Amino acid sequence: MTATAVHTLPELGPTRPLTIPPAAERTLSNGLTVIAIRRPAVPLIEARLRVPFAGADLATSALMSNTLFSGTSTMSTVEIAAELQAVGGALGSGVDPDRLMISGNSLASGLDRFLEILAQVLTDANYPTNEVETEQARLIDRLQVLQSQPSHLARVALQRRMYADHPYAVQTPTVDQARSVERDTLLALHRDRLHPTGGHLILVGDLDPDTVLDVVERRLGGWAGAGSPVELPPTPALVAGPLVLADRKDSVQSSLRIALPAVSRKHPEHAALQLANLVFGGYFSSRWVENIREDKGYTYGPHSLIDHSIAGSALLVSAEVATGVTAPALVETLYELGRISTKPVEAAELEQARQYALGTLQLGMSTQAGLAGLASTYAGYGLRLDFLAEHSERLASASLADVAAAAEKYMGPAKGVVVVLGDADVVGDSLSAVLPVTVQPSTSA
Amino acid sequence: MAIEIPRTRYPVERFTLPNGLRVVLAPDASAPVVGVAVVYDVGIRSEPEGRTGFAHLFEHLMFQGSANLEKLAHFRHVQGAGGTFNGSTHLDYTDYYETLPSNALERALFLEADRMRGPRLTEENLRNQVDVVKEEIRVNVLNRPYGGFPWLKLPPILFDTFPNAHDGYGSFVDLESATVEDAADFFHRFYACGNAVLSVAGDLDVDAARALIEKHFGDVEARPAPVRPDFSEPDLTGERREIYTDRLAPLPAVASAWRVPDPAVDLAGYLSYVVLAEVLTDGDASRLVERLVLKDRSVTSVGGYIGFMGEPFEVRDPTALVLQSHLPPGGSVDRVLATVDEELDRLAHDGLTPGELSRTQARIATQLLRDNDAALNRALRMAVLEQQRGTQTLAGTDISGAALLNELPHMLAAVTEEQIVAAAATLRPERRASIEVIPGAGAGAQAPAAAEGDEQ
């Protein structure tokens, strides 16, 4: 060493203010709400079109999302893709139990053409028989691959256990359901549900927000259709009970999942619960991650997050752990949940979590794609980007007592729904020493 | 008429500290965040025989405390400043990075300088991280279908020498054999500041950032870069093809690789393969998606890219163009490979259709610019380009490795139809290495083979 000086951690500079980028919003006469946000850092645009899709048939909506760009009365699949590429663009879509989301991006100079193609698809997608057959076979293949993935099998087992009779209990169609979808049902679903009313189009990028609203009005103003909104009932309260052990023979890891109650983004306790979750296990420098990864070496990427859906929120704890340490990993997890829900949080722990929550808000807004994702998610909950300022204030002002109260109310291990996907013959006995266990075969949908 | 490919103009500042550390800065105040990256010129290819997976294991050890920091301190200081961090191990380099609100720039520089002085290598930390890495391998390779396909499965078929062919995640036996002494030697040899590039992009003032970098890195011990071994291998002289059973996979799959030109010697020639991969596989209007997925239905999906880790601008020679497909149940790999040959022949003989090249290049530009919108991605890309690509002369102007960040979209847009046709003509069966996955899961599957037995 040429120097033996002790180097000390530098102080942080003054906090940068949270700046919401310039935006404009208009609800078109067809009922579509358009939000245009300016971030000109790179000469591109990002688009997110979010259409409420609650209650739509799983298999039909999955296949529809895969065939939406498969042809119009004037363009083929290949022509749609080629025309988008010509302006540096691409479009794709996906569905979940709340919404259908069309996502894409293009060169900023191609925005008008990009919207023109989007409008043609929305108003004239005709689901050609041959393309539907192709995509149906691909969907079935994808479902089979999905069913071989432990992350999917664990999610399926957890959702069934959490949601009982609620529509969220099953979120993936079966192969048989996918096989039975016909072209007519796709056309009917498009006609009945792919409407501008209640939808949100977010455009972010190198654009002038006011001018862009006019461009969108011209291109998408002719998209018509309306129906009564479908609202799902609120998710049922979690009912604690025996640990569900979903059997997966020869699994070299166990997938540990715990669901706990949580509150929506707008709830007054949300910021405090978010901070409590961070201290517990919501980021790397948390008690749980430091315990089961950095101390014990049980796992690689444990994580804990608050998952928001329209009909309810939940706190989800997830870790893939070596089969041989499944029960000890569960014990440490229950311990850390018990600790956060009954013992005080240290001031330094809270400050660290608070800085992380505030800083990552800034990071999330620092790209076009990040802004587009945030704005479209918020729009689905009736929020706008200015909610970030409000949420930041709540994060900044949450006290130790607020965080402790939220942890006690929502994070106690007695409130948890516990699911483990793993080899029941190997892990069953030791898990039974920790909690009552019900073994079930692993099911795929 | 083809759309105009736009240009980014990130200012790129470069300098070298007296101890040999190379630095690149790219200020851009469009968001109040910075990305900080340190890239060391060592990767999977440099790990010794009997120590597969060591470069990656060592990357984990770089987070376990350093000269002035206890274990866990690094994570807490980054996240407690509102930032996120990670590191990753590649064939030719290992990166360490943070992205944070820009008021935390000095803290990030302090943290990177501290571990450049030396990580705290202890038996306890080593054993702990061997366990963590084994779980990483289980989650990414052993407990899921198609684990390691094709990035771990194809190199041993295309290549013959240990550096290029071996499993970069490592065998459990080798990982468990690693010692603290191995780690100390590895650090001393490869983690010299002369073997690193520091890069900062985002909301920074160049003069202030330079002063902070001199303050924190100036007294890091000067050690020169080790001589980089010659990893070159001759091209294949005949087709190679192998098969393995994946006990968890429900459907067949196949991947093929062909060697491509050395980007350090012939960057323009190399870039024509980068564009070719997109002509073949980017979206529903690409050659192979249209033919294999939409017309023949002989595959469920097809993808194509340069480099086994899918990073065309972050890899050195020898590397490859890779095509991979998943097949429907009972699908014929022979038929898929024959159709790919037929499509490559057609491209080589009939050329491109009007607009095909320019639209592909427009989409490539969007994807590059989109990546570069994130300060961290700019920092990482600049650092690796600075390390791997020397100064290039473009239209009579010298462009540094880091400054290629601004040039790549136009360099890719300058690739001509003649170059694409010539590149396609080289992708012959006799230069091809392929790996086929036999599904071991589901009805009618064959008995599981010990395909991944060396991991257990």
Tens digit of each residue's pLDDT, chain A (445 residues): 444 567 889 999 988 888 999 999 999 999 999 999 999 999 999 999 999 999 999 999 999 999 999 999 999 999 999 999 999 999 999 999 999 999 999 999 999 999 999 999 999 999 999 999 999 999 999 999 999 999 999 999 999 999 999 999 999 999 999 999 999 999 999 999 999 999 999 999 999 999 999 999 999 999 998 888 899 999 999 999 999 999 999 999 999 999 999 999 999 999 999 999 999 999 999 999 999 999 999 999 999 999 999 999 999 999 999 999 999 999 999 999 999 999 999 999 999 999 999 999 999 999 999 999 999 999 999 999 999 999 999 999 999 999 999 999 999 999 999 999 999 999 999 999 999 999 998 776 5
| B156: its two tokens | 């041993």
Which B residues 364-393 touch A at CB under 8 Å?
A: 365-366, 369-370, 372-375
Question: B209 touching A, CB under 8 A?
Answer: no
| B64: its two tokens | 């376990």
Neighbours of A184 (CB within 10 A): 9
Same domain membership, residue B206 and residue B297: no
A253 to B135: CB separation less than 8 angstroms, yes or no: yes
Interface test with A, best of B220, B284, B410 (most A CBs within 10 A): B284
Encoded amino acid at B131, one letter: D
Cβ contact A88:B365 at 8 Å:
yes
Same domain membership, residue B183 and residue B139: yes
CA pair distance B4, A43, nearest whole angstrom: 11
CA pair distance B98, B62, nearest whole angstrom: 14
3-state secondary structure of B148: coil
Cβ contact A445:A139 at 8 Å:
no
A285 to B363: CB separation less than 8 angstroms, yes or no: no
Q: Measured between CB atoms, which of A16, A148, A359 is closest to B250?
A: A148
Which residues of chain B fall short of a pLDDT of 70?
A: 442-456
| A329: its two tokens | 């990993």
Conformation bin of residue A431: beta by default, left when phi > 0, alpha when psi is -120 to 50: alpha
Query: Considering the domain boundaries, does residue B235 fall inside one?
Result: no
Same domain membership, residue B132 and residue B39: yes
Same domain membership, residue B290 and residue B200: no
Interface test with A, best of B366, B367, B378 (most A CBs within 10 A): B366
Neighbours of B58 (CB within 10 A): 26
Q: What is the DSSP string of B183-238?
A: HHHHHHHH--GGGEEEEEEES--HHHHHHHHHHHHTTSPP-PPPPPP----PPPSS
Look at residues B407, B76, B371 and name the one whose alpha carbon lies nearest to residue B201. B371
Interface test with A, best of B63, B373, B408 (most A CBs within 10 A): B373
Give CA B67 to chain center in angstroms.
29
Domain that holds residue B130: 13-217
Q: What are phi and psi of A328, to 5 degrees?
A: -60, -35
3-state secondary structure of B389: coil
Q: Is the peptide bond before B224 cis (omega within 30 degrees of 0)?
A: no
Query: Distance (Å) from the C-alpha of residue A431 to the closest C-alpha of chain B?
Result: 20
* Radius of gyration of the CA atoms of chain A, in A: 24
Which B residues 252-291 touch A at CB under 8 Å?
A: 282-286, 290
Query: Considering the domain boundaries, does residue B6 fall inside one?
Result: no
Which B residues 124-163 touch A at CB under 8 Å?
A: 127-136, 138-139, 142-146
Chain A residue with Cα closest to B106: A10
Residues in contact with B268: Cβ distance below 8 Å, sequence separation at least 6, in sequence order = B411, B414, B415, B419
| Degrees to nearest 5, angle at CA A322 with A320 and A325 | 110
Look at residues A242, A8, A255, A208 and name the one whose alpha carbon lies nearest to residue A111. A208
Q: A305-336 in b/e burial notation, b at 16+ Cβ within 10 A? A: bbebbbbbbbbbbbbbbbbebbbbbbbbbbeb
Look at residues A430, A17, A34 and name the one whose alpha carbon lies nearest to residue A217. A34
Query: Considering the domain boundaries, does residue B347 fall inside one?
Result: yes
| Degrees to nearest 5, angle at CA A393 with B79 and A36 | 90
CA pair distance A321, A301, nearest whole angstrom: 9
3-state secondary structure of B350: helix
Chain B residue with Cα closest to A17: B32
Same domain membership, residue B271 and residue B330: yes
CA pair distance B395, B382, nearest whole angstrom: 21
Same domain membership, residue B195 and residue B280: no
Q: Helix A347-364 crosses helix A270-277 at what angle (to 10 degrees)?
A: 110
Query: Considering the domain boundaries, does residue B448 fall inside one?
Result: no
Same domain membership, residue B414 and residue B283: yes
A41 to B30: CB separation less than 8 angstroms, yes or no: yes
pTM of this prediction exceeds 0.90: yes
B7-34 tens-digit pLDDT: 999 999 999 999 999 999 999 999 999 9
CA pair distance A432, A420, nearest whole angstrom: 12
B100 to A137: CB separation less than 8 angstroms, yes or no: no
Same domain membership, residue B294 and residue B160: no
Query: Distance (Å) from the C-alpha of residue A14 to the closest C-alpha of chain B?
Result: 6
| Degrees to nearest 5, angle at CA A436 with A435 and A440 | 115
CA pair distance A235, A233, nearest whole angstrom: 6
CA pair distance A211, A207, nearest whole angstrom: 8
Question: B293 touching A, CB under 8 A?
Answer: yes
Interface test with B, best of A15, A78, A79, A85 (most B CBs within 10 A): A85
Question: A112 touching B, CB under 8 A?
Answer: no
Interface test with B, best of A148, A149, A352 (most B CBs within 10 A): A148
3-state secondary structure of A307: strand
Chain A residue with Cα closest to B406: A42
Query: Considering the domain boundaries, does residue B456 fall inside one?
Result: no
Chain B residue with Cα closest to A421: B143
Query: Considering the domain boundaries, does residue B135 fall inside one?
Result: yes
Cβ contact B262:B270 at 8 Å:
yes
CA pair distance A299, A291, nearest whole angstrom: 10
Question: B110 touching A, CB under 8 A?
Answer: yes
Same domain membership, residue B355 and residue B247: yes
Burial of B267 (0-12, 13-18, 19+ CB in 10 A): middle
A362 to B103: CB separation less than 8 angstroms, yes or no: no
Same domain membership, residue B323 and residue B198: no
Neighbours of A14 (CB within 10 A): 6
Residues in contact with A332: Cβ distance below 8 Å, sequence separation at least 6, in sequence order = A288, A291, A292, A296, A298
Question: B221 touching A, CB under 8 A?
Answer: yes
3-state secondary structure of A162: helix
CA pair distance A288, A340, nearest whole angstrom: 10
Ordered domains of chain A (ranges, CATH) = 23-220 (3.30.830.10), 243-441 (3.30.830.10)
Burial of B398 (0-12, 13-18, 19+ CB in 10 A): exposed
Q: Measured between CB atoms, which of A151, A300, A363 is closest to B33?
A: A363
CA pair distance A64, A193, nearest whole angstrom: 11
Q: What are phi and psi of B4, to 5 degrees?
A: -75, 135
B209-237 tens-digit pLDDT: 999 999 999 999 999 999 999 999 999 99
Residue B259 sits in a domain of what CATH number? Answer: 3.30.830.10
B67 to A294: CB separation less than 8 angstroms, yes or no: no
User: Kind of pairing, strands A44-52 and A200-205?
Assistant: antiparallel
Same domain membership, residue B286 and residue B163: no
CA pair distance A52, A199, nearest whole angstrom: 6
Chain A residue with Cα closest to B366: A88
Q: What are phi and psi of A300, to 5 degrees?
A: -100, -55
| Degrees to nearest 5, angle at CA B375 with B35 and A111 | 170
Total count of domains within chain B: 2
Neighbours of A396 (CB within 10 A): 12
Last residue of a domain, one of B217, B249, B280: B217
Q: Which chain B residues touch A80 with a CB distance below 8 Å?
A: 284
Q: Which chain A residues touch B134 with a CB distance below 8 Å?
A: 322
Beta bridge partners of B403: none
Helical H runs in B21-122? 54-61, 73-79, 105-117
Q: Token pair 């640990």 is at which residue?
A: A243
Last residue of a domain, one of B184, B217, B250: B217
Query: Considering the domain boundaries, does residue B3 fall inside one?
Result: no
Look at residues B82, B181, B39 and name the one whose alpha carbon lies nearest to residue B122. B181
CA pair distance B366, A382, nearest whole angstrom: 31
Cβ contact B203:A13 at 8 Å:
no
| A68: its two tokens | 């939406």
Burial of A234 (0-12, 13-18, 19+ CB in 10 A): exposed
Query: Considering the domain boundaries, does residue B228 fall inside one?
Result: no
